[in-house]
Structure formats: structure tokens, C-alpha cells
Amino acid sequence: MTAFRFACSVLCLAAALSPAAAAPAGKPAAPGRIVVDLSAGKPANTFRPDEAFGGGVDGMGRDDVDLVLTPHNIAAMREGGLRKLTYRLRTELGNEAWHWNEEGTWSDPARAQGYWTSSDDPAKPVLISHGYNLPRRGNTIDQANNLGYSRLDDGDPETFWKTNPYLDSRYTHAPARPQWAIVDLGGEKPVDAARIQWADPYAVDYDVQYWVGSDDYDPAGRWATFPAGAVRGATGGDVTLKLSPQPVKTRFLRLMLRKASGTAPAGSTDVRDGLGYAVREVAFGTLDPAGRLRDVVRHGKSKETQSVMHVSSTDPWHRAVDKDLDLEQAGLDRIFRGGLTSGLPMLTPVPAFYDTPENAAAEIRFLKRRGYKVEQVEIGEEPDGQYGSPEDYAEIYLQVADAVHAVDPAIKLGGPSFQSGFADVWMEREDDRSWTRRFVRFLKDRGRLGDFNFFSFEHYPFDDICGRIDQKLIRQTTLMADLFKRLDDDGVPRDIPWIIAEYGFSAYSGRAMSELPSALLNADIVGQFMTLGGDATYLFGYTPNVPINQHQPCAGYGNMMLWQADENGQAKWKMPAYYGARMMTGEWAQPGDGVHALYPAASNLRDAKGQVLVTAYAAHRPDGRWALMIVNRDKDRAHPVRIDFKGAAGPLGGLTGPLEVFQYSGAQYAWKDAGPQSRPARSLPPEHRTLKGGAALDLPAYSLTIVRGAGPAAPGG
């Protein structure tokens, strides 16, 4: 796909139009204007529908894969017209290793433990797979089921946290960077001492530090080493350290591990056992006159009973008994043979942070042997949400890249599938907090930017989905424009594809996701992203689901879903996201693989604050017709509009008829708000009508409209 990315485009065109004054209540409004700008002489971007529009299949809970991926549900999902598929890797979010095939080998087969590699030539079809908990886990919190806990403060001296051995110089072929563990005390507590119970390998050199800052997001915050916190030449064991003559009040503490012993547990035969650092238990507090530590760290085997720990990395070592039946991934054979990929290459993940490069390479060999289409491989998922540093992720990325390219050098590699395009690092390094810039710079410094073939991120613009949803719709387009500027500033290459690997209202479910604004938001996200130069978008909520509330009681019940499921998990009610997807893929775009040209378009319809109420995205289709996708974000007022074109020399006229109009609004859809029993009260297809060329187009309040017709010749398209 050829993309011409303009720094201004839509926003500049909107600013150039005179705002239309709102009509007094009860009086008809004068038609507003939507102007399609052809003055650049070339499109802002081009796209093919079979490459640009997709949906995602994620990991699921116990027994959910069989429940959800039925022939009925798959057929319903495909009706949305989102032909491309991305496979989301929930094991990465859950701090778990992925047995993408349950057939395979252990590095310690006699005890069914160690480092796992799935078989690339299984005897049976791979229909389901699972994540495996990591018994050397360091993080208390994860981004999946969040049922695990850290071994650093679980109260059990027989367990331990260990860092990832693949970050050792043996594998990186570069000096090893420090590893670290952070404890959150939950509030400021006095600390002048620490007790550390080391395992093998232990730290020879390390620092004990405290956070100086108003909170963990304080831009002026910094780490300070305790007066006696710089330890050199340590020999492991259980040690109690007097860190300071007087207690320091702080909420956050850090062990910064700088040099490893290289020692392995007795009887070890795997070199990885002796690489990195291992700690059994930590305690912090104050020493009483008798030299006893008054521990302010909470110890327990759950996130509710232990102090929260964040660590730089975790060893992917595990055992057969660590299988997590509550985290299922659909088997790769099931995905490719079940019709979900539409015969197109799938955006395919390989594990990274909590797995091994060998297992990633075996997955690609398996897919190649099966004859499945794989062109783009996403390495890991949401590393910015796993508390690790971008440099450590980059080290793993390069090792996985080498392993995958040893199987197939033609595969395009990318990621990191950020949990948010605005990716920052906090409490880790103070001189540069941009996760993205540091990752890109690391690859450049290693001379490996050529292994970064596409950039992916997730776009859930709002954690808070209470309050004025119409204002959030308006704010989203500003956020997207700001995001492109930020990514440019961070140095993300412009000559590689940019992909939204997941998009939707929020990472937390609520009512807005099941009401009309969900279709409007999705249209704005895709239309704006593609016009600004994006290459592909994948809708989250592709599979049928049910209303839930995850985060805020005021958000109510709803979910990201094309279809709401019945009590048996089967697609029953068509949601706004479904009709929005159908309008985008079947009416705005011409289905198939034809090249569409996008041109900037903007309206002069604004509210009293000057905020743009109506957005528009203009595509010139392979059939020669113009199609505009128009979003009226005004929840209270309908707006008539006229569509005009302008070129470098001035006005070019409007759309000529007959005009085909497809319109979706409150006339077609209503949501019955009834808690967990919420469902559509009305769910009808978009209205379809024909207008004469040049006629004003009425945009109902809170509506999505597609209008098609003839118009000026498309320059450069």
C-alpha cells in the first residue's frame, strides 16, 4: 500500500472552513458544508479493503473456545465484512508461557519441567492450547485473568523470583543491563533496613533504592540510593542490611541488580539456571533496638494479601503442573481451518517476554508445514504494560527475530502491539521516558532497524467511559492526531506499515460500547487513522459476547461485540459495531482487493465551543464513484449538509446523482439498559434511500451515514 502522510490534512482543512452557526431551537438549520480537498494533487493515503479491515480473536476462559468458535458464530462474525484476522496472545498479558501445541518437549523431560518447545509436526490437529503459570514469577499484577502473585513476597522461602536468562550476555552478545524489582508499599512507610533472601544465581553488586516523588507518575520523580544501599561483592544467602541512620518515608522501593554471580542451584544441568538473578523473599522496614526488622511489606499468595511487586523480567521456566485451564487459546489449526482467516494471511503472534525464541521458531515451522499463509508476525503483545524496559524487550525481540528468520527470512516482523500508542516508562529511567523512542533507538544503535517491518499498537482512548460520551467522541479525533505527532517525534519509521492491532472505546467494558456511540467511534477511528496514513485496523470484540461491567459502576453494562450472545454463547443480537462494520466494509469501501484513494474532508459544523461536530472521510473507489463516511457526533441535533469538492484552483462542484445514502441512527437502534440482562430493544439495518445530486443530506443526531455518487476526477488516485 502506498501512503502519503500529511502533517495537516483533515485538521487543517477543518480549521479553514467557516463554522456553521447553530440554528435556534425550533428553526431549521442552514445546511452545513463538507469539503473534500483535492488540492494536493494526490491522495492522502490508499488502501485495499482486504488488507485494511480486520477483527481479532483473543484468548478466552475455561471451556470458552468450544463455546464461542462454533460454525454459527463464525458465520455471524464473517457477516461483518472484516476479512483480515489477528490472533491475540493473552498468555503474554498473563505472564504465562504458551504451549501453542500441547505436544512438545521439555528441557528436563524426566521431571516434565524446564523450558518448553511445542512440536512443529504434531500427530493430531491443534484445536486448543493453554497458558502455563510461571513459578518464578515476579509481578503481582498482570493484564489477563490477574489471579497470580509474586514469589518475592509470597511468604514462602522455598519459592523465588528469577529474571529472564535470555537477557544475559550469553544470549544478547552485549553487556547485560541491570535487572530490578520494585515493591509498592501502598502508602508512605518508614524504611531504614532490608532483609533479602537470595537464591542462585544471586547479585554480587546491587543497590537498594527509594523513590523520591509525589507519586509514581511524578515527572520530576527519581530513584535515590540509601546511604548504605550500594552493596558490592555480596555472597548471597540471607542478609539484613541497615540502609540509613534515620528512616526514610517512601512508598516505593527498588532492588537494582547490577552484577550476577553466575551460580546455579546444586544439580543443575541447564546453563539457563545460572543466568540472571534469583531472590526468594524481600522485607523492608525499620530495625528495633534488638535488631529485629519491623517489616512493612505484606506477604501472601494472592494480589490481595501481598504488597504489589513489579519486576523487569521473569524466567519462562515452568512445569507440566503449571497448566492454566482458565486461560485458553484457540488452536492454530482451528483458526486456519475454521474459515476465520478468509484464506488471507493472518497477523500472527509469537511469544516473547514469557517464553523462548525456540518455541517461537517452532510455531513458524508448524505454520509453514501446514501451508498456512503467514506474512506478518507480531512479536509479543503489550510489553509496555508488563513493566519491563524497552531495551530488554528489544533484546528479546531481536533473538526472536533471528529465530523466526532462520525458518523463513521473508517473514515481516513487527510489534510491539503497545497497550496504548502513548507508551511511556515510569519509575524506570529518568532521562527519557518514551518507551517508543527508546525501543526504536535501540534497534538503530544495533543496526537492526531492518528487522522492524511494521509498527502496531492498540487504541482504547478512554479508561473512563462515564459522563458525556458525545464529548469523548469529539476528543478521540484530537487524541488520534496528537498520537501521530507523538509517534513521529518518537522516530517510528514512516516507510513501514502502521497497524492498529485492537481498537474500541476502552479496555474496560461498559454501556457505551453497546450503544450507538460505539459505531460512531469505530468509524472515526478507522476513517481518521487511514486518512492520516495508517495501513490496517483490527476491531476488538469480533467474537459474540455478553454485557459486563469491569471498571466503573457508573459505566453500566455493555461490551465490545459485533453480536450479543444468547444464554448458550451463540450470536443473537446485531450490535451497532456490526452495522457500522457492514457500512464501512460494504458501502463506504467497495468489497474486494481494489485500491481505494483517500482524500482529506472536513465540515464546518461546530458547537458553541468551536468543537467539530461532524467528521467525514472521503474515498474514491475502484468503480469510479466517491463514497463519504460521515459521523454526526451531536447527540441532540440533526444537521443538513452539502458536499463540495475543491482543487488547487478553487471549487470543483459537488456530488452528482443519483446519490445512494445508507444511514444508521436512533431510528434503527436502541439499547435496553437492564444490568447484566441488558440487550438491544431495537436493532434494525441502516436505512437505504436515493437522493438527487446536489440535494442537501440530512444527518440525524448521533448517526453514521455513507453517501455515494459521482464527482470530480480523482487526482493521482
| pLDDT value of residue 12 | 44
pLDDT score of 187 more than 90: yes
pLDDT in tens, 466-475: 999 999 999 9
Q: What is the DSSP code string of 125-178?
A: ---EEEEEE-TT---S--SSS-----SSSSS-TT--EE--GGGSHHHHSSPPPP
pLDDT in tens, 691-708: 998 889 999 999 999 999
Q: Do residues 225 and 209 make contact, with C-beta atoms less than 8 angstroms apart?
A: yes
The dotted CATH code for 161-315 is 2.60.120.260
| pLDDT value of residue 54 | 98
pLDDT score of 169 more than 50: yes
Q: Do residues 375 and 409 make contact, with C-beta atoms less than 8 angstroms apart?
A: no
pLDDT score of 23 more than 70: no
Indicate the pTM of the whole model: 0.94
pLDDT score of 454 more than 80: yes
pLDDT score of 13 more than 80: no
pLDDT score of 402 more than 50: yes
Span 675-702, mean pLDDT?
A: 96
Span 478-487, mean pLDDT?
A: 97
Half-sphere exposure of 362 (CA within 13 A, CB side): 21
For residue 87, name the pLDDT band (cuts at 50, 70, 90): very high
**CA gap 207, 590 in Å, rounded:** 61
pLDDT score of 509 more than 90: yes
| pLDDT value of residue 388 | 84
Q: Do residues 579 and 668 make contact, with C-beta atoms less than 8 angstroms apart?
A: yes
**CA gap 627, 683 in Å, rounded:** 25
| pLDDT value of residue 568 | 96
pLDDT score of 16 more than 70: no
Which residues on neighbouring strands pair with residue 667, listed in sequence order? Answer: none
Dihedral-angle region of residue 90 (phi above 0 means left; psi in -120 to 50 means alpha; beta otherwise): alpha
- Spatial CB neighbours of 664, under 8 Å, sequence gap ≥ 6: 516, 519, 576, 579, 580, 583, 686, 687, 703, 704, 705
pLDDT score of 5 more than 80: no
> What is the helix (H) or strand (E) element at residue 640, kind and residue range?
strand 639-647
| pLDDT value of residue 427 | 87
Span 1-8, mean pLDDT?
A: 37
Q: Do residues 90 and 58 make contact, with C-beta atoms less than 8 angstroms apart?
A: yes
For residue 386, the Cα-to-chain-centroid distance in whole angstroms is 12
Q: What percent of the chain has pLDDT over 90?
A: 91
Span 77-106, mean pLDDT?
A: 97
- 3-state helix vs strand vs coil in the chain, percent to 5: 25, 35, 45
Strand spans (E) along 305-370: 308-311, 318-319, 323-330, 348-350
| pLDDT value of residue 1 | 40
For residue 17, name the pLDDT band (cuts at 50, 70, 90): low
β 376-379/412-418 pair status: parallel
| pLDDT value of residue 29 | 62
Span 230-250, mean pLDDT?
A: 98
Q: Do residues 628 and 707 make contact, with C-beta atoms less than 8 angstroms apart?
A: yes
pLDDT score of 25 more than 60: no
**CA gap 614, 634 in Å, rounded:** 8
Q: Do residues 180 and 256 make contact, with C-beta atoms less than 8 angstroms apart?
A: yes
**CA gap 525, 73 in Å, rounded:** 25
pLDDT in tens, 566-621: 999 999 999 999 999 999 999 999 999 999 999 999 999 999 999 999 999 999 99
For residue 6, name the pLDDT band (cuts at 50, 70, 90): very low
- pLDDT averaged over the chain? 94
pLDDT score of 260 more than 90: yes
